[in-house]
Amino acid sequence: MDATLDQISIISDSQCRAEDIARHLAGMFVTQSFARRNLAQAKPAKYTIVDIDLEDSSDFPDLRRWLELRPKAGTAIFAVEPGVRRQVLQAYALGATDFVERPLNNQALLTALFGDIGSLAGDPSARSVGNSDGVSAGIGALQNIFTSVTSGTAVDLKTIHAAGDTVVSHIEAEGLVRWIDTVRQHHSQTYQHCLLVTGVGVAFGQHLGFCSGDRQKLAFGGLLHDIGKAGVPVAILEKPSALTDEEMAVMKQHPLLGFEALRAMPGIHPDMLDVVLHHHEYLDGSGYPHGLGASELSDIVRMMTIADVFGALIERRAYKPPFSCEAAYQVLENMGCKLDTDLVREFRPFARLQIM
């Protein structure tokens, strides 16, 4: 089993239905499936899906006691027939934390398990993000990315490329300061971060003299780099306070989840998979998920890692004020051999940006 992924228990009266649920959750969980009459075979995982005949009350006491053993804050999602209120009541009596109606599908299961990732986008035309075509395009691209992962459909690469072109044009015309000031008004920490990293990456490429095509590549990588966060509960992504160690361990799964979501998709350039999987790696081997060293990290990953760290420091969060650009750059310098020192030196002009 892959120890980097959360485990999920699937309890079903049908092996075929259990296998179907497992397919929906492939790449996001390690699944363990068994019948309700065989509960003694395993301990409940943090996440549980119960797909049984709720009109058959046999073994209900055993199921209730078994679910009481699940980890603290564990989730138990029950499948019920559409519109049958008594099954909903029965599910909650047995220990359900939520329910989904049959037939089960990827979107419903992941929304019940993680929260509605689609709610993070908000309205791209809302005043909270101004009237910027570039920011609106970025939000639309992120919505497509996250919705595609949670629904099990392919990401619309043409939409992402078109949004990247718009972002590049926006940064050229209006500069990074305007981008940052606008993006930091977005209500979602997740979207704010992704858009900040995208804008910073594009502006860094512009500063280095990259051609429009290479800057578009940086925009594409910035929009995609945190795609794995679609597999992280919204309650963790948008938590208005610092994460606990346990929550941080869940958050650190997102590079692997993103790689799993993209690796079989036609048209994805290997460089983009590299960015998604390795943007939290450091040159001294202290990063994650693989602890790679300098010789294994490409230039685009090194650039996006700098943009990712800088973006995280200057974003607005409910529990801490944003760093100034000067203070954020000082953190980059202080990271020393973790980052590419030549690139950090080239990044120095961004320390002088004055943002509100």
Q: Is residue 227 part of a domain?
A: yes
Q: Is residue 21 part of a domain?
A: yes
39 confidence band (pLDDT: 50, 70, 90): confident
Q: Compute φ and ψ for 29, nearest 5 degrees.
A: -140, 155
What is the reported pLDDT for 314? Answer: 96
Contact present, 159 and 174 (Cβ < 8 Å): no
What is the reported pLDDT for 1? Answer: 41
Are 239 and 253 part of one and the same domain? yes
Contact present, 193 and 312 (Cβ < 8 Å): yes
Tokens 């949004």, residue located: 163
Which tens digit of pLDDT belongs to each residue from 143-175?
899 988 877 788 999 999 999 999 999 999 999
Q: Which of 114, 147, 163 is the last residue of a domain?
A: 114
User: How far apart are the C-alpha atoms of 206 and 290, rounded to whole Å?
Assistant: 30
127 confidence band (pLDDT: 50, 70, 90): very low
Task: Order the strands of the 75-80 sheet from edge to edge.
Answer: 29-34, 6-12, 47-51, 75-80, 98-101
Q: Is residue 82 part of a domain?
A: yes
3-state secondary structure the chain: CCCCCEEEEEEECCHHHHHHHHHHCCCCEEEEEECHHHHHHCCCCCEEEEECCCCCCCCHHHHHHHHCCCCCCCEEEEEECCCCHHHHHHHHHHCCCEEEECCCCHHHHHHHHHCCHHHHCCCCCCHHHCCCHHHHHHHHHHHHHHHHHHHCCCCCHHHHHHHHHHHHHHHHHHHHHHHHHHHCCCCCHHHHHHHHHHHHHHHHHHHCCCCHHHHHHHHHHHHHCCHHHHHCCHHHHCCCCCCCHHHHHHHCCHHHHHHHHHCCCCCCCHHHHHHHHHCCCCCECCCCCCCCEHHHCCHHHHHHHHHHHHHHHHCCECCECCCCHHHHHHHHHHCHHHCCHHHHHHCHHHHHCCCC
What is the reported pLDDT for 4? Answer: 47
Contact present, 275 and 225 (Cβ < 8 Å): yes
Whole-prediction pTM:
0.76
Residue 69 structural domain: 6-114
Please give the average per-residue pLDDT across 316-322, as a whole number. 84
Q: Which of 88, 114, 140 is the last residue of a domain?
A: 114
**What is the CATH number for 21?**
3.40.50.2300
Determine what percent of the chain is predicted with pLDDT higher than 90. 61
**Higher pLDDT, residue 172 or 2:** 172
Instruction: Report residue 202 as tokens.
Output: 């594009």
Query: How many structural domains comprise the chain?
Result: 2
Tokens 């078994």, residue located: 66
Q: Which of 114, 145, 169 is the last residue of a domain?
A: 114
Residue type, 91: A
Determine what percent of the chain is predicted with pLDDT higher than 70. 94
Q: Is residue 91 part of a domain?
A: yes
Range of 11-15, 196-200, 265-269 with top mean pLDDT: 196-200
Are 87 and 135 part of one and the same domain? no
**What is the CATH number for 152?**
1.10.3210.10
Please give the average per-residue pLDDT across 259-280, as a whole number. 93
Which tens digit of pLDDT belongs to each residue from 84-124?
999 999 999 999 988 999 998 877 887 787 776 776 766 44
Are 31 and 84 part of one and the same domain? yes
Q: Is residue 128 part of a domain?
A: yes
